[in-house]
Amino acid sequence: MMIRGSTGLIAHIGYPTHTFKSPMIYNPYFAHAGIDAVVVPMGCRAASYPALLAALFTLENIHGALITMPHKVSTLALVDAASPAARVAGACNAVRRAPDGRLVGDLFDGEGFVRGVRRKGVELAGQQAFVAGCGGVGSAIAASLAAAGVAAISLFDARPESAEALCRRLRAHYPALRLRTGEADPAGHGLVVNATPLGMHDDDPLPLDVTRLDPGCFVGEVVLREHTPFLRAALARGCRAQEGTDMLFEQIPAYLEFFGLPTTTPARLRALAQLDGPPRQENVS
């Protein structure tokens, strides 16, 4: 695509940058749709990041910034306003400048997950959800499920303090939500989420006891691999499922909306993407 003086910029900030996939997803779409914008990878170490973020948003042709590791947590303290999802998760992965000049942060991991589940016909209102893994992506998914109207969420993490901390943050923003922590049992839940990194490697243990999954429940994965052992076991048990890559492509239209750019469907993004391997596993923490 041609970069002109009129081209709008989206900075993709993190370190290291050599495995970033966003430019190979967004830029083919921009070129195909005739959108005068470009995603540019920007490698920045933690010590320099606050100054870089502030400087970038003095540019008049910047649409916003995609934020990835190691900066997602520190970004929350650098923005002037943040969404409930970002505040619950304690992290941001997108920043834009509001008309009044304030920096606004949001987090779309959970939004991508919820959009994918809804696209598959799952009704979330009143649902009983189980989330294994209460780090960054698990917190984001739990916050988005709460905003989508689930009735109850059971939280489990190998570090009990992480589940308890997420429970407190959710309760502060969603006081009517029923919350439970401490049990690794997914039985009785209509929606079960693996928000742990388990499954990135073939010899990883399963994140939970799949024999306790209710047949017919919906199982979601965040690991960006096709057919993880967990999903294969859940499908064999009669569950419906969503892969981690579904979450990845579903969140991109939400980013485009956030940046004020024309959006498209996840299917179109997949068809245009020029990935040279599986997407980088940068959403699990």
Q: What is the pLDDT of residues 107-144, one digit of tens each?
A: 998 999 999 999 999 999 999 999 999 988 899 999 99
The answer to whether 120 is a known catalytic residue is: no
Q: Is 228 exposed, middle or buried (0-12, 13-18, 19+ CB in 10 A)?
A: buried
Q: State the pTM of this model.
A: 0.86
Per residue, the 3-state secondary structure of 126-171, as one string, reads CCEEEEECCCHHHHHHHHHHHHCCCCEEEEECCCHHHHHHHHHHHH
Residue in 21, 72, 96, 97 annotated catalytic: 72
Provide the pLDDT for residue 200: 87
Provide the pLDDT for residue 277: 54
Q: Which CATH superfamily is domain 110-242 in?
A: NAD(P)-binding Rossmann-like Domain (3.40.50.720)
Low-confidence stretches of the chain (pLDDT < 70) are 1, 276-285
Provide the pLDDT for residue 276: 60
- Taking the C-alpha atoms of residue 11 and residue 220, their distance in angstroms, rounded to an integer, is 29
Q: Which CATH superfamily is domain 8-107+249-272 in?
A: Leucine Dehydrogenase, chain A, domain 1 (3.40.50.10860)
- Taking the C-alpha atoms of residue 71 and residue 42, their distance in angstroms, rounded to an integer, is 12
Domain range summary for the chain, segments of one domain joined by +: 8-107+249-272, 110-242
Question: In sequence order, what E strands does 23-102 have?
Answer: 37-43, 62-67, 81-82, 94-97
Provide the pLDDT for residue 281: 45
Residue labelled with tokens 């499954």: 199
8-107+249-272 with 110-242: one CATH topology? yes
